Amino acid sequence: MSRKIDPAKRESILSAGRIIFLRDGYASAKMTDIAAEAGVAPGTVYLYFDSKEELATAIGQDFFGRLSNGFTHVIKKLDKPSGIDDLVEWALRIGTEERDLLALIKMQLPHPKTDCDDGPRSQFLRELAQSLERLQTKEHARQYDPLALASVVMCVLQGLTMTCVFSDTDTKQMKIAAIKVLQHALFEDEALPQELKLKKAKTSSVPGGIKKKLQSSHK
């Protein structure tokens, strides 16, 4: 008879694994140290995870699963341009708050097979594609292949997050640029924030002669 899995104990081992991997690095981490951190016998760890690699993979999957829960809430706001602000801020916040764990996952932990359609990353992408497909039924939404668009948006978000993880660059200007780019990509001009339309209108309403004088005055 197989032993019943205790969800609380499994979570305790996952938490201990994160602590030890962050402290010692994946290569140097020992399952005995993880067991001690979790407050269980070494053999108990192997009842839940067959190897250190399996534990590391589970940590990555658990992390992206938790991200997906937060992401589900954020993308519900994508029916209007202001939702892009929340999406970009979410990506930057994750990169800042989870910087050490993301660096560990990216650089040290074994990556799951890329051909797995049921992995957290694939589910994450499909959920975004479904949200974008719903968005495209709205007025003033630009039309694209939802899955292709989701891949592009994900690249932008990942770039912002990884900049937080691996660079000390001030992301203020990147945030502004990302918001504007995604707003223009997803929505027609008529749906954009009023201040953007006013700037565009002011630029287009300047007579050609005045434009030339303004340009020559700056030479």
- Cα of first residue to Cα of last residue in the chain, in angstroms, is 84
**61-194 has which CATH code?**
1.10.357
CATH of 1-50, one of 3.30.450.20, 1.10.10.60, 1.10.10.10, 3.30.70.20: 1.10.10.60
How many CB atoms are located within 10 Å of the residue 77 CB? Answer: 15
Domain boundaries, the chain: 1-50, 61-194
Phi, psi of 185 (to 5 degrees): -75, -35
Structure tokens at 196: 């953007």
Query: What pLDDT, in 10s, does the model give residues 164-218?
Result: 999 888 899 999 999 999 999 999 998 887 655 545 544 444 455 544 544 554 4
Tens of pLDDT, residues 67-87: 888 888 999 999 999 999 999
Helices in the chain by DSSP H: which ranges? 7-24, 31-38, 42-48, 52-75, 82-97, 99-107, 120-135, 146-166, 172-186, 194-205, 208-217
Tell me the pLDDT tens digit for each residue of 105-122.
Answer: 888 877 655 444 566 678
Residues 6+ apart with CB under 8 A from 151: 125
